[in-house]
């Protein structure tokens, strides 16, 4: 541990833990109590001076710690050009509240998936970026269909029509009579009718 000889009893530092230890005794913080030391005269500590004493000691320790940190090698990060201080390894072992967690054993499915190269769908994400529209949309389910914006021309205006499905819908409409007239028109006729109405507007 590094030391600071400016104090009556030198400070000790553990820069790896950013810790400063001050072994010097402090005046008693009890109201009306007397405190004596070799460097100060006998004084009484009042309630109003408690915070001032603690604040002064904390400030002194913080300044000493910062001074020691600035004496360490300073490098510049290549990615963002920020300054970094290289700290030594910690010297004081800090206690843990709980033991070090053990590595969780993989389940049979996790071992099988890792062996076969199977990945979960959630890891890939539910969204994908549409380069043409410059926006994110769902890969599947709700939000997958591209909805046109106001005043925007439909990009895929040429759509393939299932002739078999169109024929089946038309025959079903003819069987039901006039009630199924609109359904018998088929998707193509309904789509053309909507487009003609929009063009008239």
pLDDT at 91 over 50: yes
Position 62 scores a pLDDT of 93
Highest mean pLDDT out of 30-44, 97-111, 147-161 = 97-111
Beta strand extents in 59-134 (DSSP E only): 74-76, 83-85, 127-130
pLDDT at 63 over 80: yes
The crossing angle, in degrees rounded to 10, of helices 163-176 and 181-200 is: 110
Q: Name the one residue in this structure whose structure tokens are 């009630």.
A: 179
- In this predicted model, which residue has the larger pLDDT, 36 or 130? 130
In this prediction, residue 38 has a pLDDT band, given cuts at 50, 70 and 90, of: very low
In this prediction, residue 39 has a pLDDT band, given cuts at 50, 70 and 90, of: very low
Contact 32, 44 (CB under 8 A): yes
Q: In the chain, what are the domain boundaries?
A: 2-85, 127-146+162-200
Q: State the Cα–Cα distance between residues 91 and 3, nearest whole angstrom.
A: 14
Nearest Cα to Cα of residue 61 among 30, 93, 23, 88: 23
**Count of residues making up the chain:** 201
Residues paired with 13 in a beta bridge: 2, 20
pLDDT at 73 over 50: yes
């Amino acid at each position: 541990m590094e030391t600071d000889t400016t104090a009556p009893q030198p400070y000790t530092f553990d820069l790896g833990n950013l810790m400063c230890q001050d072994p010097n005794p402090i005046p008693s913080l009890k109201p009306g109590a007397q405190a004596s030391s070799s460097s100060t005269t006998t004084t009484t500590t009042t309630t109003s001076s408690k915070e001032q004493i603690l604040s002064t000691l904390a400030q002194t320790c913080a300044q000493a710690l910062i001074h020691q940190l600035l004496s360490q090698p300073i490098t510049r990060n290549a990615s963002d050009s920020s300054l970094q201080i290289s700290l030594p390894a910690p010297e004081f072992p800090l206690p843990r509240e709980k033991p070090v967690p053990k590595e969780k054993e993989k389940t049979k499915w996790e071992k099988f998936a890792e062996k076969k190269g199977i990945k979960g769908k959630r890891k890939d994400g539910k969204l994908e970026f549409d380069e043409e529209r410059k926006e994110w949309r769902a890969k599947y389910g709700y939000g997958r269909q591209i909805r046109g914006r106001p005043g925007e021309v439909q990009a895929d205006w040429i759509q393939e029509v299932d002739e078999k499905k169109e024929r089946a819908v038309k025959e079903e409409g003819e069987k039901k009579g006039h009630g199924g007239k609109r359904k018998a028109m088929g998707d193509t006729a309904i789509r053309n009718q909507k487009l003609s109405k929009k063009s008239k507007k």
